[in-house]
Amino acid sequence: MTRFAAGLFVALMAAGPVRGAAPGLSTTPSGGVEDLLARIQGAEDRIKDVSLTFRQTTLLKATGDSTSTTGTLALLRAPERFRVTFTAPASQVALYDGTYLWLYLPAAGQAFRQKAGSQDLARVLGLNPAEPVRSFRRGYRASLAGCDARGCTVDFARGGSSPMTWHVRVSATTWRMEEAWFENEEVRVSLSCYDYRVNRKLTPRAFRLALPGDVEVQDGIPMMFGAKAP
């Protein structure tokens, strides 16, 4: 789940279109990866709120079994709020309302919460969803894998005891993510985001969690968000 959160918030770094981008860009940005990331960062800086639909697919290489997770995400940059609604294979809601991080499991009739300020999000989630480019780059090394007429691919690599490389494909016309994926000897995980809706004037009220009266609320969020970066 932590890996999923990383991929999803990486996707947000390309959620906003760059004004003035030339359609059908077919050359590598003159400044290389830093030029490309600056363009994406410029788009991110103009985002006030964003909503999208996502699909994550995980392939187990040993068995060939594949599973998909689908849902929606909404994010408000200031004040910082987010909601992730998982629709399949199980219904779940993960939400930050400005005071608590929440995980709601409708089928179990349970909700978990963990008190957190906006300054805690990067530590708790591994990434600050209001600043995904800056957060992601703190732990990963970026390199430009290449560009063609349709877009560019940026690789984000992390070393250490659990090395990982995310490959992020962005459109050359909108600079929105088309796909992000990583793989190792055991699995391949790919993430796609679509139906972007940017700057639709979301308010903090949209990020309140309304629970049925019979739902049991417990402090602490098990297995959902780790304290370590993904």
Distance of alpha carbon 175 from alpha carbon 122, whole angstroms: 24
Number of neighbours of residue 128 by Cβ within 10 angstroms: 20
Half-sphere exposure of residue 206: CA atoms within 13 angstroms, side-chain side: 19
> What is the model's pLDDT at position 28?
60
Domains defined for the chain, CATH in brackets = 2-219 (2.50.20.10)
d(CA 33, CA 45): 18
Closest by CA position to 221, among listed 126, 102, 59: 102
Q: How far apart are CA 103 and CA 221, in angstroms?
A: 7
Backbone dihedral region for residue 220 (phi beyond 0: left; psi -120 to 50: alpha; all else: beta): left
Please give, one letter per residue, the 3-state secondary structure of the chain: CHHHHHHHHHHHCCCCCCCCCCCCCCCCCCCHHHHHHHHHHHHHHCCCEEEEEEEEEEEECCCCCEEEEEEEEEEECCCCEEEEEEEECCCEEEEECCCEEEEEEHHHCEEEEEECCHHHHHHHHCCCCCCHHHHHHHHCEEEEEEECCCEEEEEEEECCCCCEEEEEEEECCCCCEEEEEEECCCEEEEEEEEEEEECCCCCHHHHCCCCCCCCEEEECCCCCCCCCCC
Query: Cα 184 to the chain's mean position, in Å?
Result: 20
Q: What pLDDT does residue 174 have?
A: 72
pLDDT in tens, the chain (230 residues): 444 444 454 444 433 333 333 334 445 667 788 888 888 777 777 889 989 898 989 999 999 999 999 999 898 988 989 899 999 999 999 999 999 999 999 999 999 999 988 777 666 655 555 565 666 666 788 899 999 988 899 898 888 888 888 898 887 877 777 788 988 889 999 988 888 898 999 999 999 999 999 999 999 887 544 333 33
State residue 33's pLDDT score: 87
Query: Do residues 128 and 145 lie in contact, with contact meaning Cβ atoms separated by under 8 Å?
Result: no
Please report the pLDDT score of residue 134 as a whole number: 63
Q: Which residue has the tokens 């939400």?
A: 95
Q: Cα 163–166–169 angle (5° rounding)?
A: 165
Distance CA 26, CA 40 (A): 17
pLDDT tens track for 148-206 = 988 899 898 888 888 888 898 887 877 777 788 988 889 999 988 888 898 999 999 99
Q: What is the pLDDT of residue 168?
A: 87
